[in-house]
Amino acid sequence: MPVAAKTDAGTAAKAVESVADEEFRAMAAGDVGAFLRILAPDVVFFPPNEPPKSGSAVAPWIGQFLSGYTVEFQERHHDEVLLGHEWALLRTSFRWRVAPRAGGEASARLGNTVRLFRQDDRGTWELAREIWTTYPAT
């Protein structure tokens, strides 16, 4: 029996939200290792205005971003969790401030994500897919 079926929906939703919070914390801390630990082995990211990132391209891509910029999440909200058999979809919204580490002007932006999580054989939720958009904060 899948682990998802053994837990109630509220517990599963909280577990998925907790993994998303780990992603936010890792980005804010600039911690590439913590970021990579929450990912499914076959994760795919769909960044705005770029080709998808997957496989061996993920670590250098996120590493380059986090080494080049500081990220401050000023707001973040889990707007919706949809649970499936061993899958969960999480829709979030956020406001972040991104500043170049080398100096320069920070950018405040609003954003939305759709994340797909998968439960592994141990019952751990992993980030499997993520697509997002950002736009200027007004």
Give residues with Cβ within 8 angstroms of 21, minimum separation 6: none
Alpha carbon distance 93, 90 (integer Å): 10
Q: Is the pLDDT of residue 40 over 90?
A: yes
Nearest alpha-carbon partner for 12 in 3, 20, 21: 3
Reported confidence tier of residue 1, pLDDT bands at 50, 70, 90: very low
Reported confidence tier of residue 7, pLDDT bands at 50, 70, 90: low
Assign domain 3-136 to a CATH class: alpha beta
pTM flag (> 0.85)? yes
State pLDDT tens for residues 48-90.
999 999 999 999 999 999 999 999 999 999 999 999 989 999 9
Q: Is the pLDDT of residue 29 over 50?
A: yes
Distances (CA, A) of 85 to 11, 16, 36, 44, 119: 14, 13, 24, 20, 9
